[in-house]
Amino acid sequence: MAKEGYTGPLENIGCCCHRIPKSYKPGMRVPGHIYATDKLLESIRKDQAADQVANVATLPGIQVASIAMPDIHWGYGFCIGGVCATDPDEGGVISPGGVGYDINCGVRLVKTNLFLDDVKHHIKELVKALFYTIPSGAGRTGKYKFDTTETRRLMGEGPKFVIARGLGVARDLDHTEANGLIDGGDPHQVSDHAVKRGAEQCGTLGSGNHFLEVQVVDSVFDAEVAKAFGLELNQICVMIHSGSRGLGYQVCDDALATFRNCPQKYGFELPDRQLACAPADSPEGRKYIAQMRAAANYGFCNRQLLMHQAREVFAQVFGRSWDDLGMEQLYDVAHNIAKFEEHTVEGKKKKVWVHRKGATRAFPAGHPEVPEAFRAVGQPVIIPGDMGRASWVLVGSQGAMEKTFGTTCHGAGRAMSRTAALKDGVGRKIERELEHKGVIAMASSRNGLAEEQPKAYKNVDDVVEAVHEADLSRRVARMRPLGVIKG
DNA sequence: ATGTTC
């Protein structure tokens, strides 16, 4: 069933920002701010994402604006590509729909000291080895089996737990958002069912838009920042896009069931039941926060184990240790998470719950949460694109702090629904089409490949242009895919 | 995103 598009107001207020006025819907406490170029605005109007931006503006305690990135599209309650900051001192809520089902879905970029010429004749072999080593697809389990006690420890300690077992090195932590450990997570509040689902899945890719890609640095846009990040033209990197698998899904599901009655209990109304939420400072809110943070730590561990397996495969294929291949982690960012952060709101510093659902933290130079190695230039921002065109490395900027609670886009954003993309793929050989474009792809599901085909997505270059122009982050390097494994 | 409709 095709969804009606958005026909409401979008007032251009400059710098690629378009406003949905508070008058658009009853109950809006703040306006909506959608960042996009005119070109992207056209596709944004095609689904109900902008209406969802307006719905989010009704949430108790929301600050400044209900914000959306140029890659927004329709999602559960909240659009994907949205930012919502709430102040707990003003009854601000926490909402699972504002984080997403895949808690701490995110991206990790691993560098190598290899260049295009070193790998171009080994891509098929490399992709095959990656595909047969790294489990992918819905419901897949992996070789790292932790019992439920160990899984709870892993959630409590983050990647430090798996690194202590030789599955990584301590310096990986320095290059992970929050050092891979969100404080305040409580694994003991996570349901047994969720823990069981996660126990055998750590170190697996999953399905949908999740991928592991071998990429080459295709262009460098900011030589100084690229140098600080250790990126140069024709360099080979590995990009990993995955989340917290069945564990995060179950945490979200558990919380949604608990939150169903909270609006009535705490005396507020919601325009959409999928916006289910509770005051961040309520028993229900605090419980979800503790669970969500524990699930986020699991997500960091999942990407740690995915990276470890990629390092092992490279070592095997090239006959050198991963260390010798220079497989250092550039950074790891979450793009589905809520963080309690200090921001300046109308000239006043306050701590707010920043929900980022399909949106990436993009802190500028000098921010204390940016790793020391990058403090002088800003936080690396990793933007996965589609498997046929490109992905990006950006750097955080001051504009993001001033306009979007330190946030930028998270990817290309879907342009076609999964069903439409699937129908479009009937009778085609998408692997062949990709091979003609110079990309070797292996997927565990044929349908998955059709759903994820390049034209199902907006052009990530357009999305990046919008966030660069709006100064929500700046271009550093464009990455082109050479090999991809998918669920 | 998700043992893809407990």
Of A33, A308, A410, A468, the catalytic one is: A410
Q: Which nucleotide is nearest to A139 (CA to C1')?
A: B3
CA atoms within 13 A on the CB side of A339: 25
pLDDT tens column, A433-449: 999 999 999 999 989 99
Q: Is the pLDDT of residue A2 over 80?
A: no
Show the tokens assigned to A139: 């419901």
Q: Confidence class of residue A257 from pLDDT cuts 50, 70 and 90? A: very high
Facing residues of A30 across strands?
A: none
Q: What is the pTM of this model?
A: 0.98
pLDDT 10s digits, A393-414: 999 999 999 999 999 999 999 9
The closest nt to A75, taking CA to C1', is: B1
Measured CA to C1', what is the nucleotide nearest A241? B1
Q: Which of A416, A393, A396, A395 shows the shortest CA–CA distance to A404?
A: A396
Annotated binding site of A for Mn(2+): 102, 210, 241, 335
List, for residues A342-364, the tens digit of each pLDDT value. Answer: 999 999 999 999 999 999 999 99
Tell me the CA distances in angstroms from A145 to A173, A181, A203, one per residue in order: 22, 21, 9
The Cα A460–Cα A473 span in angstroms is 14
The predicted model gives A296-307 an average pLDDT of 98
Distance, CA of A445 to C1' of B4, in Å: 12
Rg (CA), chain A: 21
> Which nucleotide is closest, CA of A105 to its C1'?
B1
* Beta strands in A259-365, from DSSP E residues, in sequence order: 278-279, 329-334, 336-345, 348-357, 360-361
pLDDT (tens digit per residue) in A311-347: 999 999 999 999 999 999 999 999 999 999 999 999 9
CA distance A56 to A20: 12
Bases in strand B with any atom closer than 7 Å to a protein CB:
1-4
Distance A140 CA to B6 C1' (A): 21
Distance A234 CA to B6 C1' (A): 50
pLDDT at A4: 80
DSSP 3-state of A408: strand
| Domains in chain A: ranges and CATH | 11-93+104-486 (3.90.1860.10)
Q: Distance between CA A270 and CA A263 in Å, rounded?
A: 7
Tokens of A75: 């999602």
Question: Binding site membership of A for GMP: which residues?
Answer: 209-213, 335-336, 384-387, 391, 410-413, 486
Nearest by Cα to A473 from A405, A378, A367, A395? A395
Q: Is A343 a catalytic residue?
A: no
Give the mean pLDDT of A32-54.
96
Tell me which residues have their CB below 7 A from strand B: A 76, 101-102, 105, 137-139, 193, 197, 201, 206-210, 243, 245-246, 249-250, 445, 487
Residue A258 has a CB neighbour count (10 Å cut-off) of: 18
With a cut of 70, say whether residue A3 has pLDDT above it: no
Distances in Å between the alpha carbon of A336 and those of A28, A189, A248, A293, A401?
A: 24, 20, 11, 11, 18
Residue nearest to nucleotide B3 (CA to C1'): A139
What does pLDDT average to over chain A? 97
Q: Is the Cα torsion angle A464, A468, A473, A476 positive or negative in sign? A: positive
Q: Please give the nucleotide, over all strands, whose C1' is closest to the CA of residue A76.
A: B1
Measured in Å, how far apart are chain A's first and last C-alpha atoms? 26
> CA A474, A476, A478, A484: dihedral to nearest 10 degrees?
-100
Measured CA A422 to C1' B6 distance, in angstroms: 27
Residue A208, sorted as left (phi over 0), alpha (psi -120 to 50) or beta, turns out to be left
Bind-site residues of A: 102, 209-213, 241, 335-336, 384-387, 391, 410-413, 486
Q: A248's torsion region: left (phi>0), alpha (psi -120 to 50) or beta?
A: alpha
**Residue closest to sugar C1' of B1 by CA:** A102
Of A25, A83, A96, residue with least CA distance to A58: A25
Say which nucleotide is closest to residue A418, CA to C1' distance.
Answer: B4
Instruction: Report the greatest alpha carbon distance in chain A.
Output: 64
- d(CA A287, C1' B6) / Å: 23
Q: How far is the CA of A421 from the C1' of B5 (A)?
A: 21
pLDDT of residue A1: 41
Torsion of CA A185, A188, A194, A197, to 10 degrees: 100
Beta bridge partners of A240: A108, A212
Residue nearest to nucleotide B6 (CA to C1'): A253
CA(A253)–C1'(B5) in Å?
15
DSSP states of A26-59? TT-SS-EEEE--HHHHHHHTTSTHHHHHHHHTTS
Q: Which tokens belong to A300?
A: 């960091």
